[in-house]
């Protein structure tokens, strides 16, 4: 069994459902320490984070800093009986490695570790610094104590990152056929529309919040928030939850709650989206309360960026494919690193089975992935 496959299996066996780490970071930290990395364990609340760095410039801070970014936590498996094999027992069938986290993203983490071990062994006096940042709080709902919190620590200590490769599963049909060069921002709202509860036979004595909200919802859904731009599609607005009523068929509810989300690029700002939403709600005269949560601003590594071009070249030469350069998909922890001034690119295995029953990664892709990450290191720091 290859080093990367063996390490991936060791990580999959650890039931590290958010925010549990289940020993993944200790295993990785011990390996990288033996390879000569400086290890910093950063625990905030219930969340474990690891920052491992290598380079002669560790003390002086000179030279560029290349960081690899990943997470060891996984989403719940769901009913284990629905899996063909136990989700936390790595199993190889027909050239595929099955297990929760195989693709998202313990396979990439294993590949990063092996690539870094190989790189520093071959280039012990490389220029600048190379690092690996891992968290056990990427899949959670808030991400408060993961990379978001580590970045606050970095700002305090003056830590710098120039280039960041995120191991999220980016590929669609072939390894290296798509890389993420940016991500949309995510802005969520929790809305309460207040009415007056009453009997359905006496609507004049009540105020139905469903009826009151319906025209406003139609206006929000029909609004053109922006046209997008060359790098990002138009902003989308989606209601994910809507609830009102007591369960009784003869009671007008006293309140309605709605959860909604904007996914937006650089054509809009979070402040503008908030202001326009609230203007629509006020225009319709709603008695309401609205709480906002900005989980991440959009970011983009522009064409011509050193890291972006390096990753494109590596995919072309090692995978034999010209990768699509995309800003689609959801969010990633790259959104916390980009504000440090870093170029951020995501490169990883196929994403077809992530978060699904029988999640898997092709063994052949997993065994090729360290070479891609190592090549990025060698071109930037070798």
Please identify every residue annotated as catalytic. 73, 138
Distances (CA, A) of 90 to 318, 353, 360: 27, 15, 9
* Tokens 């195989």, located at residue: 102
Distances (CA, A) of 61 to 54, 57, 65, 123, 153: 12, 5, 9, 19, 16
- Angle made by CA atoms 148, 171, 140, in degrees to the nearest 5: 30
Cis peptide before 192 (omega within 30 of 0): no
State the DSSP string of 153-202.
Answer: HHHHHT---SEEEE----BSSSTTSEEESEE-EEEEEEEEEE-B-EETT-
Bridge partners for 60 per DSSP: none
Residues 377, 310 contacting (CB under 8 angstroms): no
Distances (CA, A) of 40 to 53, 86, 134, 196, 220: 9, 33, 11, 55, 46
Residues 6+ apart with CB under 8 A from 262: 185, 186, 187, 188, 225, 235, 236, 237, 273
Bridge partners for 186 per DSSP: 263, 296
What is the Cα–Cα distance from 15 to 12, expressed in whole angstroms? 7
């Amino acid at each position: 069994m290859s080093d990367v496959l063996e390490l991936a299996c060791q990580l999959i066996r650890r039931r590290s459902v958010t925010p549990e780490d289940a020993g993944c970071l200790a295993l990785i930290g011990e390996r990288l320490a033996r390879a000569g990395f400086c290890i910093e364990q950063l625990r905030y609340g219930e969340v474990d984070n690891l920052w491992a760095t290598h380079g002669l410039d560790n003390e002086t801070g000179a030279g560029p800093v290349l960081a690899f970014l990943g997470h060891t936590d996984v989403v719940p498996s769901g009913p284990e009986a629905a899996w063909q094999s136990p989700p936390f027992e790595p199993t190889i069938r027909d050239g595929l490695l099955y297990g929760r986290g195989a693709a998202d993203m313990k396979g990439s983490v294993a590949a990063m570790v092996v690539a870094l071990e190989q790189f520093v062994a071959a280039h012990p006096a490389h220029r600048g610094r190379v690092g690996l940042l891992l968290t056990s709080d990427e899949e959670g709902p808030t991400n408060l104590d993961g990379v978001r919190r580590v970045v606050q620590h970095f700002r305090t200590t003056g830590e710098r990152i120039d280039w960041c490769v995120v191991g999220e599963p980016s590929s669609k049909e072939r390894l290296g056929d798509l890389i993420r060069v940016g991500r949309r921002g995510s802005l969520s709202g929790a809305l309460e529309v207040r009415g007056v509860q009453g009997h359905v036979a006496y609507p004049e004595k009540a105020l139905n919040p469903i009826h009151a909200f319906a025209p406003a919802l139609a206006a929000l859904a029909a609004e053109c928030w922006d046209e997008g731009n060359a790098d990002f599609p138009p902003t989308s607005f989606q209601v994910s939850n809507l609830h009102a009523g007591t369960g009784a068929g003869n009671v007008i509810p006293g309140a309605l709650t709605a959860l909604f989300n904007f996914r937006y690029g650089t054509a809009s700002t979070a402040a503008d989206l908030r202001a326009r939403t609230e203007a629509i709600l006020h225009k319709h005269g709603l008695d309401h309360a609205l709480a906002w949560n900005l989980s991440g601003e959009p970011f983009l590594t522009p064409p011509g960026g050193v890291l972006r071009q390096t990753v494109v070249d590596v995919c072309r030469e090692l995978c034999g494919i010209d990768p699509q350069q995309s800003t689609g998909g959801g969010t990633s922890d790259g959104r916390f690193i980009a504000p440090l001034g870093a170029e951020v690119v995501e490169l990883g295995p196929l994403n077809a089975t992530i978060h699904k029953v029988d999640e898997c990664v092709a063994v052949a892709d997993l065994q090729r992935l360290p070479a891609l990450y190592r090549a990025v290191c060698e071109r930037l720091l070798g």
